[in-house]
Chain A
Amino acid sequence: MIEMKAKCIVKGYGEGEAIVLNQSLSIFGQINMLTGELMGHDVGELRGKCVKGKILFFTHGMAASGTVIAVNEIASNGVAPAAIVQVTYPDTPTVQGCIMSGIPVVSQPDMNPFDHVKTGDWVEVDSTRGIVRVIPKKNK
C-alpha cells in the first residue's frame, strides 16, 4: 500500500478503482454526461472507460462554464466519479461543480501519482484528512 498526502480541495471520502489520465481533462465534452464514459480522441486508450464510482486522476481541468453544468449533470445521472485527484493544480470550474455535487477533490499529492498509480488499482481518497491510499491491483 502507498499513502500520499494531498491538499484537500473539496471535503469528503471516496474509494474505488483508479482511472489515471496523465493529461488535462475537459469534463464538458470528454465525459459522456449520461453514461459517464470518457470520449473523444484525446483520451487515448481510456476512451469508453466509465468514470462512475471510480477515482479519477488527471493533471488539471480545461474549459469553463460548461464544466460546472457537466459535473452537475453527471452527478445527477448517477455516473459521477467517487473522488477526483487533480494532480498539478485544481481548476475553478471543476471544483465549483464538485462542491455543488458533493464530489471529494484533492490536489497536488506529495508523490507523483503517474509513477505510482495505474488504472485499475484500488484507491481510497480521504479528502477531509488529505490522504490518498493506493492498493496496487496485483496485491489486492
Chain B
Amino acid sequence: MKLTREEQEMLEGKKGPAVQKAMEMLVEYGEGFNAECMVDVNYVHADGGQVVFHKTVDHIEEYHSRGALARVPASTEVTAMDMSQWKEMGIPEDYAQRQKDVDKKLKEMNFACTYTCTPYLAGYIPPKGSHIASVESSNQTFMNSVLGVRSNRDGGQFTSLSAFTGKYPKFGYHLDENRKGTHLINVRAELKDSTDYGALGLHIGRYVVGSGVPVLKGIKNPTFEDLKALSALMAQGAVALYHIPGVTAEAQTLEEAFHGQIPKDEIVVTQKDIEAVYERLKTAKDPRVNIVDLGCPHYTLEEIRKVASLVRGRKKHTDVIFNVWTVRTVKILADSMGYTGAIEDFGGRIFTDSCITSCQWSPTSRPCSNITVPKRPNFGTFVTDSVKHGWGGPLQLECEGVVLKLEDCIKAAITGRWC
C-alpha cells in the first residue's frame, strides 16, 4: 500500500504504541483487499464494549492502557444494559459496575457513548461522500444509501482502529465503481408501513440480490422510518448499499443509479414475496404471547408517539413483557412529550443503550470474569413489529416468534394472544 508520510509515521510507532498496532492491522487488512492507499475517515461508529463478550472489553482496556484516543468523532454501538435503568432490566450490581467501568474508559478515550444502532438519531449524520468506518449493518446500509456516506461492512472491535488512526483502506464501497447499481428491482407490492419495508428489504437483500447494489423503482414517498427498516433488512443479506432514484442520496434517476448502464432485465417483487417473508418468520405455535419487543432498530420519536397513542389509557396483559428500545436522545424527548408515561402506565417500559439480544440475554460465549449473568428465562413466544428482530430475535433467544403490524403487537400485548 502507498502510505502518506503521516501514515508511515504511525506505522513506525512515532504516534505511540496504540496507533502503531492499529495501523499495522489496517495495513494488513488493506493489502488483503488490494487497497492502493488509505482514506481519511471523518466519523467512526465503534463497538460499545458489552460485558457479556469479554473480548470486546479486553480490547477496550488494552487500548485504554496504551493511551489510545479517538482522533475523529466516534459514537458507540449498543452495550449490554440500559446505563440508568439497569435495575429495572434485572441486571445484578456486579454486572452493572463492570459495564460502568467500561463506560468510563470509553469516555476517557474520547468515544461519545451513544450506545445505539441508530447513531444518526443521536446527531451523527456525516456529509454525503465522506468516508466512515462503522459497526452495525443497519447503520452501514442506512448511511451508505440514504445519506450517500461511504462505508464498508465493518464489524466489532475493528472499527475502533480507524478511530485511533483516522484511517481506513480505500477499497469496496469507498470507491466510485463499487457504488453503481447491479440489479433493477421493480417493486409492485403495496407497502403499508415500515414493517412492510422491512419485509421488502429482507426479500431483496437475502433472497434476490446477494452481494449486489439493488436499485428500486416503484417506491412511493417512503418515511424516514420506512428507510430505516428497509436499510436494516437489506443488510441481513450481504447488501450494504441500495439506491432509490429521487429518494436516496446518490441518484436522481435510474441512469445515475446505474452510472449510465441501465440493465435490460428487471426483477419484479410482488405482494406474494412480502407475504412469504412474514410466513417464513412465523415460527410461533402457541397462541399465548410472552414478550412484545419493539424498537429494532432503535425507535424514532415518531414511532414512540404511535405506540403511546395506541396504549394510552389501556393495560397490558399481566403475563406479557412489553419493551420499547431507543437511543437516549430520543427518550429525553419521549419523557417530555408524555409518551414514556403513557407506556409505563400501560405496564411497559422504554429502555435505552441496549436491546433484548445485546443485554444479559445475549447469546454470549464468555462474559467478563467475576460478574453475575442471570440465566435466560424461557421467552416462549416473541412478538415484534420489526422484520429484523423477527429474523434474529427468536434465533438468538432460542424461542419462537412472529412479526406483526404495530397495531396487532399492541393487541397481542393487551390480550396475551397473537392469534
Contact with A along B19-54 (1 / 0, CB 8 A): 000000100110011000000000000010000011
B235 sits at the interface (CB 8 A): yes
Question: In chain B, residues 203-261, which have Cβ atoms closer than 8 Å to a Cβ of chain A?
Answer: 211, 235-238
Give B348-381 as 1s and 0s: 1 = Cβ < 8 Å from A's Cβ atoms: 0000000000000001111000000000000000
Known: A34-B366, A92-B152, A97-B155. A29 touches B28 (CB 8 A): no
A60 CB to nearest B CB, Å: 8
A64 lies within 8 A of B157 (CB): no
Indicate the member of A11, A34, A99 with the most B CB atoms within 10 Å: A99
Q: How far is the CA of A35 from the CA of B330 in the complex (A)?
A: 40
Q: Do A93 and B155 have beta carbons less than 8 Å apart?
A: yes
Within 8 Å CB of A95, what residues of B?
A: 29, 32-33
A60 to B211, CA, bound (A): 11
Task: State whether A77 and B28 are in contact (beta carbons under 8 Å apart), knowing that A64-B140, A96-B155, A97-B155 are contacts in the complex.
Answer: no
Which A residues lie within 8 Å of B363 (CB)?
29
Once the chains bind, are B152 and A73 in contact (CB under 8 Å)? no
Summarize A's interface: helix, strand, loop or mixed: helix
Give every chain A residue within 8 A of B157 (Cβ-Cβ): 68-69, 72, 100
Q: Judging by beta carbons under 8 Å apart, are B155 and A67 in contact?
A: yes
Which residues of A9-30 are within 8 A (CB) of B? Answer: 9-11, 29
Q: Assuming A68-B157, A100-B158, is B28 touching A10 (CB within 8 A)?
A: yes
On whether A65 and B59 interact (CB within 8 A), knowing A73-B53, A77-B365, the answer reads no
A29 and B135 within 8 A (CB): no
Query: Hey, which chain A residues are within 8 Å of B235, CB to CB?
Result: 64
State how many angstroms separate the Cβ of A85 from the closest Cβ of chain B: 14
Say whether A76 contacts B29, CB under 8 Å: no
User: Which chain A residues in 82-140 approach chain B with CB under 8 Å?
Assistant: 90-93, 95-97, 99-100, 105
Q: Does B56 reach chain A (CB closer than 8 Å)?
A: yes
Chain B residues whose CB sits within 8 angstroms of the CB of A76 once the complex forms: 54-55, 58, 366
B153 proximal to A (CB < 8 A): yes
A33 contacts partner chain B, Cβ-Cβ < 8 Å: yes
Q: Give the chain B neighbours of A10 by CB distance below 8 A.
A: 28, 32
Residue in A33, A64, A77 whose beta carbon sits within 8 Å of that of B153 in the complex: A64
Residue B136 interfacial (CB < 8 Å): yes
B155 touching A65, Cβ below 8 Å:
yes
Knowing A11-B28, A76-B54, A77-B365, the reply to whether A68 touches B156 (Cβ < 8 A) is yes
A51 in contact (CB, < 8 A): no
Smallest Cβ distance from B21 to chain A, in angstroms?
10
Cβ contact within 8 Å between B28 and A92: no
Nearest A-chain residue to B156, judged by Cβ: A68
Interchain CA distance A68-B133 in the complex, whole Å:
14
* Interface residues contributed by chain B, number (CB under 8 Å): 36
Q: Does B273 contact A (CB under 8 A)?
A: no
Q: B33 contacts which of A33, A34, A90 (Cβ < 8 Å)?
A: A90
Collect the chain A residues with CB atoms within 8 Å of residue B77's CB.
Answer: 65
Which of B55, B155, B158 neighbours the largest number of chain A CB atoms within 10 Å of its CB? B155
A38 at the interface (CB under 8 A from B): no
* Residues from chain B with Cβ under 8 Å of A74 in the complex: 365
Contact call A65/B137, Cβ cutoff below 8 A = yes
Q: Are B155 and A64 in contact (CB under 8 A)?
A: yes
Contact yes or no, A92 B366, CB < 8 A:
no
Is B408 in contact with chain A by the CB < 8 A criterion? no
Given known contacts A8-B32, A10-B32, is B364 in contact with A33 (CB within 8 Å)?
yes
Evaluate contact between B172 and A72: CB separation under 8 angstroms. Answer: no
In the complex formed, the residue of A with least CB distance to B77 is A65
Q: What's the minimum C-beta distance from A116 to chain B, rounded to whole angstroms?
A: 24
Smallest CB separation, A23 vs chain B (Å): 13
Q: A62 interface residue, CB < 8 Å from B? A: yes
Q: Which of B28, B32, B237, B238 has the most CB atoms of chain A within a 10 A radius of its CB?
A: B32
Q: Is B395 located at the chain interface by the 8 A CB criterion? A: yes
Q: Find chain B residues with CB under 8 A from A32 CB.
A: 365
Closest to B135 in A: A65
Query: Does A50 lie at the interface of the complex (its beta carbon under 8 Å from any beta carbon of B)?
Result: no
Q: Which residues of A contact B153 (CB under 8 A)?
A: 64, 91-93
A33 to B172, alpha carbons, bound, how many Å?
Answer: 29
Across the interface, do A72 and B32 meet the contact criterion of CB distance under 8 Å? no
A46 surroundings in chain B (CB, below 8 A): none
Q: A96-B154, A100-B157 are in contact. List 19 more A-B contacts (CB 8 A).
A: A29-B395, A33-B364, A33-B365, A63-B236, A64-B136, A64-B154, A65-B47, A65-B77, A67-B156, A69-B157, A73-B365, A74-B365, A76-B55, A77-B365, A90-B33, A92-B172, A93-B154, A96-B29, A96-B156
Q: Enumerate chain A interface residues (CB-CB to B < 8 A).
A: 8-11, 29, 32-34, 60, 62-69, 71-74, 76-77, 90-93, 95-97, 99-100, 105
11 A-B Cβ contacts within 8 A? A34-B365, A60-B238, A64-B136, A65-B137, A65-B156, A69-B55, A72-B56, A74-B365, A97-B155, A97-B156, A100-B25
The 3 closest A-B pairs by CB, nearest first: A68-B156, A33-B365, A68-B155
Question: What residues make up the interface of B, taking CB atoms closer than 8 Å to A?
Answer: 25, 28-29, 32-33, 47, 53-56, 58-59, 77, 135-137, 140, 152-158, 172, 211, 235-238, 363-366, 395-396
